[in-house]
A = this chain, B = another copy of it.
């Protein structure tokens, strides 16, 4: 079982392969015997998959170097990025070498940005190992590192040569991270695909149980939806903004509690409900739809109430600092139906405060 999708971009296209055990299937990698690669991964993923990938590539004549960096969002830094670049230089990699990003969203972002910058750009292959990175960050070409003064503030739009999604990797993923990935899956249904939302209502337990057919369909469909948006709007001028449903509220939670205490997907889960409440208060969204979303999030084992320790007022401070805020006005993506959202400029701060309080 190997699905292949294509992300169509103005300048070039790249394939996404989805299947079981394809991490060790050379056919999934756009590489030739004799080529040189550097596999960059983290210290959680390395003991699980690095040897297998390395062995498979070497058996097919690829010359492999490896670099292992510490796991975690707090290492998504200039220093880690420089570690990868230094590793490429120390081993005399040329502009013909290929970087392989083996890991979750952090690895994809930092390794992708290293590929974008090494000798002004070398090829790279994404091998996302978490559900979140499989459905979200491996498609779209956004690469970045954090700066002490802001998350994802340094980066590039840079597309991979291929994305290799092995659903068997999810077997080693902690339950809480699986659920966090499902938050982004559910988001796709809300922003643009009512049929898919209906399908999720029927199959959410299959996904939690990692049933291969359901999971494979789900990931492929999310990638297709995201690819459709990215192809239409590669550099986030307009349409791509709808992917931020729940993110302005969610980032406030992440920023206040410190990144990593609540997983990104957990914050987005509550953030989407806050956005739904805002839409309802503005007269755009039905109470019954809020309940459908809430029930699905609960079944996916995601939080649906705001963090107890966080005051309602503290959200506003963080939300006004968001990269997506234009000159002090709160600009939010709000659902109008299940499967349809709109970007609303200048949302009243009173509406925002009420929405937050409705999620407790």
| Chain A interface residues toward B at CB < 8 A | 78, 82, 85-86, 89-90, 94-95, 116-121, 142-144, 147, 149-150, 153-157, 235-236, 323
A262–B115 Cα distance when bound, in Å, is 32
Q: Once the chains bind, are B142 and A120 in contact (CB under 8 Å)?
A: yes
Selected contact of A120 from candidates B78, B95, B117, B155, CB within 8 Å: B155
Selected contact of A121 from candidates B95, B117, B157, CB within 8 Å: B157
Q: Once the chains bind, are B89 and A147 in contact (CB under 8 Å)?
A: yes
Q: Once the chains bind, are B119 and A86 in contact (CB under 8 Å)?
A: no
Selected contact of A149 from candidates B89, B116, B155, B156, CB within 8 Å: B89
30 A-B residue contacts at CB 8 Å?
A: A78-B78, A78-B82, A85-B153, A85-B154, A86-B147, A86-B149, A89-B147, A89-B149, A89-B150, A89-B153, A90-B149, A94-B323, A95-B323, A117-B117, A117-B154, A117-B155, A117-B156, A118-B154, A119-B153, A119-B155, A119-B323, A120-B144, A120-B155, A120-B156, A120-B157, A120-B235, A121-B156, A121-B157, A121-B235, A156-B156
**Closest residue on chain B to residue A116 by CB atoms:** B156
CB distance from A180 to the nearest CB of B (A): 24
A125–B247 Cα distance when bound, in Å, is 33
A144–B236 Cα distance when bound, in Å, is 25
**Closest residue on chain B to residue A323 by CB atoms:** B119
CB distance from A154 to the nearest CB of B (A): 5
**Closest residue on chain B to residue A150 by CB atoms:** B89
On chain B, the residues within 8 Å of A90 by CB distance are: 149
A95–B150 Cα distance when bound, in Å, is 13
Q: Once the chains bind, are A118 and B153 in contact (CB under 8 Å)?
A: yes
Q: Once the chains bind, are A85 and B323 in contact (CB under 8 Å)?
A: no
